[in-house]
Amino acid sequence: MINTNKKHTQVSMQEENAHKPNIRRNGITAVTGLVMGIARIYTRGNININPDPVDEARLPDEKKKFQQARKTVGMTMERLSDFADSRNDSDTRDIMNAQYEILNDPELETMVYQLIDQKSVRTEKAIYDAFQHYIDLIKSADKSFLVSRLSDLRDMRDRLIHNVQQLAVIASFGKDAVMVSEDVSPIEVITFARNGVKGIICTAGGLTSHASIIANAMGIPMIIGAKSVLRTVQDGDTIILDGYGQNVIVRPDDETSSSYTRVIKRQKEEDKFLRHVIEKPPETLCGTRIELQANIDFEDEVLNINKYRAEGIGLLRTDTLLMNAGPLTMDRSRQEEFCQTAYSGSGSGMVTVRLLDVGGDKLLNIKSKEANPFLGWRGVRILLDRRELLQSQLEAICRVAGRYPGRTRILVPMISNLDEFLEVKKELADMQGTLDKRGVPVDRKVKLGIMVEVPSVALQIRQFAPHVDFFSIGTNDLTQYTLAVDRGNNLIASLYQPLHPAVLTFISMTVQAGEEFDIPVAVCGELASDPFAALVLAGLGIRELSMTPRLIPKVKQAVRLHDLEEIKAISKKVMSCNTRSERETIRAEWREAYELKLKEERSKIIAL
């Protein structure tokens, strides 16, 4: 009796909390932005099968869903199986192999299709019934050695059904949806993006996770580490995701919601205003051109190149391809396909393909047991140890480069000494020779360059210059290596200062070497997309900035409202700052002056 009472009180307290308005919860901003929408709680699990027949017109879609689910489940399994391989875990590998064969069983496929066609049922029902057929048969044999393996069948069945249903669930969320979930996978983020999801809130998650990279590319604001949100929010609640304030507001009251509505409205006007700049050249007031290029991670993003008028691709990351292929194996034809899409989507611009840059924080989490992964096996170090991987990348790039002569730059990541670069250069020449012999068209003008991100390279930049065709500065890593600050560590977040004079000095040295040896110098780190930082970089002599395409208009606007002398003066001031607060003051002063210029520009545009 007492127990029941206690329970009752707890429930009502929870419910009360669940209806309280204006609850704020802190998180960490993974992708900035501000949105207000309807919270949709996204969980995995809860298999629920609807046995009703569907309209005949939908049957081809039902079959496609099966294909899609099989592909997605297959991808995850390949990764797990590689993981098992890497640990020499033969039991797990055997189970995985058997499950993989179940997934790709031709008779299973035939039966699923037959059930869909003949009984007009949904994919999930067909999957369930097809598996049940086999489960019944195996059970009826009554052999203990098989009955114990039925769990493999059930596991595959549930994973497939689950996958089919998740995709359907996401598609039904509607345009105002703000996803609230424990964690999301990269594939889920892509599906969110395709369905117009407004924002993503996760209770777990790391800043550098691949899911957040994709959310950023697609322009979906995202907050992670919002620990207790799932306890306060209910599906259908109004929710505000405030990436600037690093928090989430559940069921905002009228006052809060109207003040946010105003900010969002202003933001939309700002976006609209920025559209006028898209068609204009990226030039300073005095006519100096700053090329603004695109950072591209995956196929869905390629459309943004033309949309925001990026001048070619300054950084084509090939790391995303690993997502589909499992750790450290890459399918050459997939790479070729990806490059092909990138080239055909970027007009006549240059395409800078960066070789695989994994290790450290990226993608290989499950394998990195290194004490210092950022100083460990990553980038070119992996490629030189796994030559077949390097060669497959070079082959894919060279094949596409041959179809688009004069447009290719290949970027080698994580170079820390010259030998590494010379090795890659030799591999490239060998690959070109091999392809040439096979009669594949080869572009001999492919440019080979390095990422400048390790201080030793920046210090010896003049020794590299005679051998390379271009430099590209990765500001994220250059900052963290120069200042010895882990960019993923929140405890020292304030020490991560990309505009620190030491970092700027390295950049400046690279620019000087570039001028002396007549080699282009680009910046492809996140820093380039911050208008103030972009100006500082331009002031140091950088003429190529590469960033997420949707951020180009903002930077272009800043470039267009300054002349080169002003820009140089800003750089000089920032270079001479010895403390962070001095730098912040200069930024604030600039901001104030810039707002005035923007205001003037706006009135001019409106007058037109």
Which residues contact another protein (rule: CB under 8 A)?
Answer: 94-95, 97-98, 100-102, 105-108, 134, 137-138, 141, 143, 145-146, 149, 152-153
Residue 524 annotated among the catalytic residues of the structure: yes
Rounded CA separation 47/103 (Å): 18
Closest to another protein by CB, 80 vs 450, is 80
The HSE-up count of residue 529 (CA atoms within 13 Å, CB side) is 20
Rounded CA separation 446/431 (Å): 12
Strands 313-317, 291-296: pairing is parallel
Closest contact distance (angstroms) between CB of 74 and another protein is 14
Closest contact distance (angstroms) between CB of 62 and another protein is 21
- Which helix or strand (DSSP H or E) is residue 61 part of? helix 59-86
| E strand spans, 228-321 | 238-242, 247-250, 291-296, 313-317
Rounded CA separation 65/99 (Å): 19
Length of the chain: 608
Closest contact distance (angstroms) between CB of 144 and another protein is 10
Closest to another protein by CB, 35 vs 111, is 111
- What φ, ψ does residue 442 adopt, rounded to 5°? -120, 135
Q: 386: exposed, middle or buried (C-beta count within 10 Å: 0-12, 13-18, 19+)?
A: middle
Closest contact distance (angstroms) between CB of 99 and another protein is 8
Residue type, 368: S
Of 354, 339, 269, 268, the C-alpha closest to 299 is 339
Quick one: how far is CA 448 from the chain centroid? 25
Which is catalytic among the residues 202, 339, 398, 524?
Answer: 524
Token digits of residue 62: 């039902």
Rounded CA separation 298/458 (Å): 29
Closest contact distance (angstroms) between CB of 112 and another protein is 12
Rounded CA separation 602/608 (Å): 10
DSSP state of 359: B
Closest to another protein by CB, 31 vs 73, is 73
Rounded CA separation 320/322 (Å): 5
Check: CB of residue 277 under 8 Å from CB of residue 531. Answer: no
Residue 210 annotated among the catalytic residues of the structure: yes
Closest contact distance (angstroms) between CB of 129 and another protein is 13
DSSP state of 478: H
Closest to another protein by CB, 83 vs 100, is 100
Closest contact distance (angstroms) between CB of 481 and another protein is 45
3-state helix, strand, coil in the chain (%, to 5): 55, 15, 30
Check: CB of residue 42 under 8 Å from CB of residue 180. Answer: yes
Check: CB of residue 42 under 8 Å from CB of residue 179. Answer: yes
Closest contact distance (angstroms) between CB of 146 and another protein is 6
Check: CB of residue 157 under 8 Å from CB of residue 128. Answer: yes
Closest to another protein by CB, 155 vs 582, is 155
Which is catalytic among the residues 202, 210, 398, 500?
Answer: 210
Rounded CA separation 25/274 (Å): 32
Closest to another protein by CB, 46 vs 144, is 144
Closest contact distance (angstroms) between CB of 132 and another protein is 12
Closest to another protein by CB, 138 vs 389, is 138
Helices (H), 451-608: 455-459, 461-464, 475-483, 501-517, 531-539, 552-560, 564-575, 580-607
- Which helix or strand (DSSP H or E) is residue 138 part of? helix 123-141
Closest to another protein by CB, 112 vs 538, is 112
Closest to another protein by CB, 11 vs 137, is 137
Catalytic residues: 210, 524
